[in-house]
Amino acid sequence: MKYTASLITSTTLAIAAAAAPSAPLHDKTLVVWVAPANLTQQAGSALTIDDGQSHFDGIIFGEITPKKWMPGSDGFRRTLKEQGDWPDESADAATFVQMAIAYRGNEVTVFRNGHDYAYYTMPNPPQAFGPQATVLFGRRHLDAGDPEHSFVGRIREARIYDKPLAPEAMAALVPGRVTGDLKPWAWWSFADEGLREKTGRFTDIKLIGDVRIDDGCLVLNGKGATVITTRSGDNEVKPVTVPKTWSFTSPVPDEAVRSARLLRERFLADPYRPTYHFCVPEDMGMPGDPNGAFYHNGRYHLMYLYNRSGSGFCWGHISSADLVHWRHHPDAIGPGNGDEGCFSGGAFVDDDGTAYLSYWMLWGAKGIGLAKSQGPDFDVWPKLEANPVIKSTEWGVTEIKDPHGRSLFYGSADPSNIWKKNGRYYMLTGNLLVLDKIGRAPEAPLSEQGDRLYLFVSDDLKTWKYLHVFYERKPEWTDRSEDNMCPSFLPLPSNPEGGPASGKHLLLFISHNKGCQYYVGDYRDDKFSPHNHGRMTWVDNTYFAPEALVDGQGRQIMWAWLLDNPSGEKEKGWSGVYGLPRSLWLGDDGTLRMRPVKELEKLREAERAWSDLALADGGTQPLEGVAGDACELRLEIAVGAAKRCGLKVRASADGQEETLLYYDAEAKQLVFDSTRSGKDGRKAVERAPFALKPDEPLNLRVFVDKSVIEVFANDRQAICRRVYSTRADSLGVSLFSQGGASTFKQVQAWQMTPANPY
């Protein structure tokens, strides 16, 4: 996360409207966790409070005596100048120290890392700071005009308490946490909320010079670089009221602008929000299925299901020319015109360029709806007057009578993409609600158990006729508990770059209990005959709700929703992350191949490379200089005698947090071990079937993006999961070999440039 000073230098950012209490601040404690970039700098401030009338108190470095911290003040009226016996600072630029100054009447105590650093009594009374108080980081006070005398380094967190803290309380302070009975009077937690002050007392922010938030820290690069935070002018604390309704034609309320800025900055500071995996821009992506993917005139379009606050379930809409950078469109569909919201479905572009969305109409006995739009932007999607084009008789189920008067049930939920064959339109519907109704009982007929799809045909997209069950389930592949929803049915190319179709089709789908899976098979005479079956998640249902398209090159590209969300999502203001777009094609052996789309290579920067790293049994090799929370890694490994070989990512220095990605040669599995990945999320050891051929090297591609990790093996297997590292130092990447020696023939690492808007 970075604030670009050239864009917002001297710009006041209104963060939130809250005001100061009327009582002035006398006794107090200033606390900061700080890492000076060098020990030769002079007279810069890690934290200053200024009354706006040339009076200030601050934690200043090296102003009177080099290498020493001191309580700064106007004209040194509250500063002891005899500092010869105070300890010199010795921390390097990578080491944070906690510096604190407690003011109690005329007594001043300085602490370093909770221990006494200096003590003296002031000849002058303490300074009072009233409603006009300002807090600075960088310059030591508002009137300091020399840009050379500003702090250079990183600040992890800063606090002001309205009381002098006792030594034991000072020693117990931990960044990111406060105790219930010891609340800061002002609090900047840069890793959590960027430049926003957490209590709401300091609401306006001005940035001067080279200021940024990076890796959860405020970074000041000297030459006058300063953050100035001021309070609201009111005399009472009150929350801002953000207008809930305002039209596109009326003036934009100031409060809406302030709130939008705050939301963006909050997201930039969120340690779990990915930088190059697509995530829902705001609000709750729960469910957060990718939907309605289509390609037209050089652009990829993708819809995302989310629960729009104050409205209901809608389809957001994004588009891209390169699968990396996305433009946001108005929502495509949402509540209205005969439904109360929209659940999952697909997309289709007809011969005349008209795009159609097929979706599940909410709630109750509605059915399947269609909406259509025309380019170039596809911004407006009127729903068909014929909706529901497939009508439910109850939630997600349609009951009809067969020629003998017996009840027959088919699904009217989760429609697939539409496809066109010999001038006619075809579409599939999912079976979860039918399975729940008649297929789960112990005595249920075999034909109603497990996953199935229902095929429909239409000549005009308005009137649809049910044909039959689309394929026959094989119990050796899936069990009776599994449904088939979120289906995508498309021709499968014969290579990752597209080209002519292979003659086989791919059916992607989920079972709600076991996640994403697929069938590869033949499509003839309106029937699908699967030849093989595979899964994309094995231990739970984290990789979920697939959606795919065929682009202008003939590539089939898919996305999936990562169904593993952190606790407290509602409070974070956003929810919903997708796996990287995968290119899918048919292998020479008739099974599915997969790899990330080549467009992702555009994000690579700062390449590092190693070769012929031989690791003995139990050996490890750290990869120094790798951006461990936003990177791509590419490895070619001669497995040799090793029983396990691979890498550790998001690893802390002491190994307490780490995520393991490796090949298990004995079990012939690709393994993703997240049991020590952090305190939140799903802890699991996910094992995907994967066997190397004799003398075949192990080729791994690994993508790390904040809370998302993906590993691909030899274009034949992949695992994608979310992890929630809790430690700031969980950034390490290292190679390992166990049970024998292995050789890492080639290792490449790239930092990945952020592609998300925020």
What is the CATH classification number for the domain harbouring 652?
Answer: 2.60.120.560
What average pLDDT does the segment 135-162 reach? 91
Phi, psi of 259 (to 5 degrees): -65, -40
Q: What is the dihedral of CA 358, 363, 365, 369, to 10 degrees?
A: -20
Q: How confident is the model at residue 16 (pLDDT cuts 50, 70, 90)?
A: very low
pLDDT of residue 394: 96
Report the C-alpha gap between 486 and 35 in whole angstroms: 50
* pLDDT: which is higher, 47 or 235: 47
Cis-peptide, bond into residue 360, ω within 30° of zero: no
Co-location of 414 and 492 in the same domain: yes
Pick left, alpha or beta for residue 260 (phi over 0 → left; psi -120 to 50 → alpha; otherwise beta): alpha
pLDDT at 12 over 60: no
Q: Span 151-171, mean pLDDT? A: 93
Model's pTM, two decimal places?
0.74
Q: 480 exposed, middle or buried (CB, 10 Å; 0-12, 13-18, 19+)?
A: middle
* pLDDT tens string 570-592: 888 999 999 999 999 999 999 99
Residues 692-714: tens digit of each pLDDT: 999 999 999 999 999 999 999 99
Domain stops at, among 231, 253, 276: 231
Q: Residue 241: what pLDDT? A: 60
251 assigned to some structural domain: no
Q: For residue 709, is it within any domain?
A: yes
Q: Are residues 158 and 68 in the same domain?
A: yes
DSSP 148: T
457 with 565, same domain: the answer is yes
Percent of the chain with pLDDT over 70: 95
Q: Do 383 and 424 fall within a single domain?
A: yes
Residue 639 lies inside a defined structural domain of this protein: yes
379-397: average pLDDT: 96
Report pLDDT digits (tens) over 456-489. Answer: 999 999 999 999 999 999 999 999 999 999 999 9
Inter-residue contact 79 to 121 (CB < 8 Å): no
Residue 618 sits in the same domain as residue 558: no
Select the highest-mean-pLDDT range: 142-146, 165-169, 423-427: 423-427
Q: Are 114 and 167 in contact (CB under 8 A)?
A: yes
The confidence score (pLDDT) of residue 63 equals 95
pLDDT score for 232: 55
Q: For 107-145, what is the HEC assignment?
A: EEEEEECCEEEEEEECCCCCCCECCCCEEEEEECCCCCC
Give the list of residues 6+ apart from residue 667 with CB closer than 8 angstroms, or none. Answer: 687
Mean pLDDT, residues 354-374: 97
The three-point CA angle 198-567-263 to 5° equals 40
Statement to judge: residues 592 and 647 lie in one domain: no
Give the pLDDT confidence score for residue 323 in this predicted structure: 97
Q: Is the pLDDT reported for residue 20 higher than 60?
A: no
Whether residue 179 lies inside any domain: the answer is yes
User: Could you read off the pLDDT of 182-217 as tens digits, one per residue?
Assistant: 899 999 998 877 788 888 888 888 888 888 888 889
20-24, 90-94, 253-257, 714-718: which is most confident: 714-718
Pair 581, 629 in one domain? no
**Mean pLDDT calculated for residue range 402-430:** 95
Per the domain annotation, does 272 fall within a domain?
no
Percent of the chain with pLDDT over 90: 76
pLDDT of residue 384: 97
Residue 249 lies in a domain: no
Number of H-type helices and E-type strands within the chain: 6, 49
User: Residue 689, preceding bond cis, omega within 30 degrees?
Assistant: no
Are 185 and 305 part of one and the same domain?
Answer: no
* Distance between CA atoms of residues 75 and 485, nearest Å: 72
Instruction: Determine the pLDDT at residue 113.
Output: 93
The answer to whether residues 173 and 24 belong to one domain is: yes
DSSP three-state, residue 266: helix
Nearest 5°: the CA angle 614, 615, 620 is 130
Hey, is 260 helix, strand or coil?
Answer: helix
Q: Which of 554, 573, 596 is the last residue of a domain?
A: 596
- Provide the mean pLDDT of the chain: 91
Same domain, 583 and 613: no
**pLDDT of amino acid 244:** 63
CATH number of residue 310's parent domain: 2.115.10.20
Range of the domain at 672: 604-752
pLDDT digits (tens, 9 = 90+) for 617-670: 999 999 999 989 999 999 999 999 999 999 999 999 899 999 999 999 999 999
636 and 571 housed in the same domain? no
pLDDT number for residue 200: 82
Query: How buried is 200 (Cβ within 10 angstroms: 0-12 exposed, 13-18 middle, 19+ buried)?
Result: buried
Which of these three, 187, 213, 231, is where a domain ends?
231
Average pLDDT on 496-506 reads: 94
Question: pLDDT tens digits for 520-544?
Answer: 999 999 999 999 999 999 999 999 9
Host H or E run for residue 6: helix 5-8
207 part of a folded domain: yes
Reported residue count of the chain is 758
Strand locations in 17-85 (E): 28-36, 44-50, 56-61, 69-73
Same-domain check for residues 589 and 673 = no
- CATH code for position 181: 2.60.120.200
Model pLDDT for residues 299-309, shown as the tens digit of each residue: 999 999 999 98
> Total domain count for the chain?
3
Is residue 703 in a domain? yes
